[in-house]
Amino acid sequence: MNSTKYNEDFVKKLIRTKEGKHLDFKQKITSKEKIAKTLSAFSNTAGGLILIGVSDKKRIVGVDPEEEKYMVETANEEFCTPKATLSFYPIKWTQDSENLLENDEDIYLLLVEVASSTGSKVYCKGKLGELKAYQRIEDQTLAISNSY
């Protein structure tokens, strides 16, 4: 996808879309292991977009894009084998005044584009060091049986 498409209008369209095979909303990244499974799943299922800073009810909550980028990058480094191919697009949110926080701070979202893996599957390390591959089926991240 072309990065010029990744602007506030594009994100508004995404928010009106349901989570699915190629789209996932996250309020905030709290678990590197969990986001690594999502990275593996999107990589193994023709790629996808993760929009961080949006609640499950599609409310704009905003995030620190640098902090979220760090969480996703370190999850990819620590848990994914081989690494997923990622692109990051911080997006300033201005258009939806009823969602603005009470103070006048700028609100940012982070859009993470996960490329489809070419060739080998992207595996995710489990707690015991075992490798599992994941895939997206509709809006769920599920382990591929007999992964490794």
Whether residue 146 is contained in a domain is answered as no
Residue entry with tokens 């072309």: 2
Q: H or E segment at 74?
A: helix 65-79
Residue 61's region, left for phi above 0, alpha for psi from -120 to 50, else beta, is alpha
More confident of the two residues 4 and 53? 53
CATH number where 44 lies: 3.30.950.30
Task: Say if residues 62 and 22 touch (Cβ distance below 8 Å).
Answer: no
Percent of the chain residues topping a pLDDT of 90: 75
pLDDT band at 112 (very low <50, low <70, confident <90, very high): very high
Total number of domains constituting the chain? 1
Task: Find the range with the poorest average confidence among 26-30, 80-84, 90-94.
Answer: 90-94
β-strand pairing of 23-26 with 48-52: parallel
- Tens digit of pLDDT for each residue in 5-59? 788 899 999 999 999 999 999 999 999 999 999 999 999 999 999 999 998 789 9
- Alpha carbon distance 40, 44 (integer Å): 6
Q: What is the pLDDT of residue 22?
A: 96
Whether residue 143 is contained in a domain is answered as no
